[in-house]
């Protein structure tokens, strides 16, 4: 059993509250243990230059933390004049992951902007953001279908993300912050509901990892995302 009192393959409690933003086409507050992220989907004005006049849609994402989402207050990025490298890396991951389950021609030449704002951070914020962002995207697309803008559903798959790590030689699922800062290896997996791998990011933090630990983490991640698919479905059913 881990320092957190959880089993190696045990996720934290996950809840998803939909519709928390009064203006957004889709929104939710996702909580994974003490990590909380507000996810919003906004129907944008127009697609990026490289998509103009192609008939193809685009999904993009931005990620940020409230200054006091963390133990020590973080300086607002608006004062630095630019998002940090970590922010860029995370929001590029979220956007890339979401686009993997959108059929661009069915979406048509329109853009959906995803905003993921972390309210409380306790590890796994980027994975919670992806899992919640998929909900917001699903809701925004449903609205486009209900109002007749879209005749076909451009969302080809359900998708979720979960973190894994190696601590003391053991592969574990869904790290909270105290585990994350001690892990020898840190990984994030984005998987769709057909079992297709969307993104695997695995970094050695203290010691290199092996093919075996990569395989073990991948197995844990498959189980974890299965759990998340159920929670996503239940949240949308409400």
Characterize the bridge pairing of strands 35-43 and 185-192. unpaired
d(CA 144, CA 186): 38
Question: In this chain, which stretch among 8-16, 23-31, 46-54, 147-155 interacts with its own copies, using CB under 8 A?
Answer: 23-31
Characterize the bridge pairing of strands 159-167 and 185-192. antiparallel
Chain position carrying tokens 């940020």: 64
Q: Which two tokens stand for residue 131?
A: 């899992």
- At closest approach, how far in Å is the CB of 207 from its own copies? 7
* Residue 210 burial (CB count, 10 A): 11
Stretch 102-141: interaction string toward its own copies, x if CB under 8 A: -----------x-x-x-xx-x-------------------
Alpha-carbon separation of residue 99 from 93, 104, 154 (angstroms) = 10, 8, 10
Q: Is 152 in the site for its own copies (CB under 8 A)?
A: no
Of residues 37-76, which lie at the interface with its own copies (CB under 8 A)?
A: 38, 40, 42, 44, 62, 64, 66-71, 73, 76
- Residues in contact with its own copies by CB under 8 A are 20-24, 27, 34, 38, 40, 42, 44, 62, 64, 66-71, 73, 76-89, 91-92, 96, 100, 113, 115, 117, 119-120, 122, 192, 194, 196-204, 207-211, 214-215, 218
């Amino acid at each position: 059993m881990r320092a957190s009192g959880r089993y190696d393959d045990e996720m934290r409690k996950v809840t998803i509250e939909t519709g928390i933003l009064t203006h957004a086409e889709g929104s939710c507050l996702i909580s994974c243990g003490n990590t909380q992220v507000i996810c919003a989907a906004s129907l944008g004005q127009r697609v990026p230059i490289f998509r103009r006049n192609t008939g193809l849609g685009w999904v993009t994402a931005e990620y940020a933390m409230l200054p006091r989402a963390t133990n020590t207050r973080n300086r607002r990025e608006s004062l630095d004049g630019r998002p940090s490298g970590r922010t860029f890396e995370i929001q590029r991951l979220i956007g890339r992951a979401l686009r993997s389950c959108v059929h661009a021609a069915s979406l048509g030449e329109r853009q959906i902007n995803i905003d993921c704002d972390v309210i409380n951070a306790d590890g796994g914020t980027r994975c919670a953001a992806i899992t919640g962002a998929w909900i917001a995207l699903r809701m925004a697309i449903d609205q486009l279908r209900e109002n007749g803008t879209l005749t076909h559903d451009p969302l080809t798959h359900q998708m979720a993300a979960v973190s894994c790590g190696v601590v003391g030689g053991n592969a574990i699922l869904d790290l909270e912050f105290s585990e994350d800062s001690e892990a020898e290896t840190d990984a994030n997996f984005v998987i769709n509901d057909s079992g297709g791998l969307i993104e695997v990011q695995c970094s050695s933090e203290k010691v290199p990892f092996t093919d075996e630990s990569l395989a073990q983490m991948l197995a844990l991640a498959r189980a974890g995302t299965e759990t998340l698919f159920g929670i996503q479905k239940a949240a949308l059913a409400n």
